[in-house]
Amino acid sequence: MKKQFLFLIVPILIFIILNCRGTFAPPEGGEERPEPASKETKSRFKPLSQPEDFVVIPRVVSFEPADDSTQHRDGDTPIAITDIDSTGQAGDRVYRIQLFTSKEYGPAIREKNIAVEVFDRPVTMDYEVPYYKIRVGNFSTREEAEKYLPAAREAGYKTAWVVRAYVNVKTLEDV
């Protein structure tokens, strides 16, 4: 019994010991190690020359009407920011129902396309840094928007709510 045990265990141990040792020599005739990157290969990528670097994101401006608590410049002239469209008229303040918010463009545009098919009102996608916001409707009063809110919730937007928005605030002129 001992002899059978030795004849079985000893070859297995020798096999394990020989196969567990590391290989310290490079493989013969096989692959060689790659050469380190040269300055030429490193200088091809220029992170500041990407197309996204030339996109200018407009700063967010609050369009609240001036009141008595308006700050004054030099103590005598009130500073008032008003909403003005391209024709010089005051922009319209409307109420919309906000359906969806995302920091990424892909999910936002998919959700907008779905909302366009579901709703009979205009659907807009607004970008306010850093969020894309999907909104439906152009209601002149908050009450009208709240009457339409159950339809948005029935369509699957359980967290929809009414927001105030400004339309025709600013348009880009032809360059």
Q: What is the pLDDT of residues 61-74, one digit of tens each?
A: 555 554 544 444 44
Question: Under 8 Å CB-to-CB from 167, ≥6 apart: which residues?
Answer: 91, 92, 94, 138
8 inside domain: no
Query: How many CB atoms within 10 Å of residue 91?
Result: 18
Q: In the numeric block, which tokens belong to residue 11?
A: 């070859």
Q: What is the pLDDT of residue 169?
A: 56
**Number of separate domains in the chain:** 1
114 inside domain: yes
Terminus-to-terminus CA distance in the chain, angstroms?
Answer: 97
The whole domain housing 151 covers 93-167
10 inside domain: no
Which tens digits make up the pLDDT trace of 92-149? 789 999 999 999 999 999 999 999 999 999 999 999 989 999 999 999 999 999 999 9
What CATH number does the domain containing 146 carry? 3.30.70.1070
Q: How far apart are CA 165 and CA 10, in angstroms?
A: 83
- DSSP sequence for 44-101: T--GGGSGGGGPPPPPP---PPP-TT--EETTTEEP----B-TTSSBPEEEEEEEEEE
Residues forming beta bridges with residue 10, ordered by sequence position: none
40 inside domain: no
Task: Report the chain's mean pLDDT, rounded to a whole number.
Answer: 74
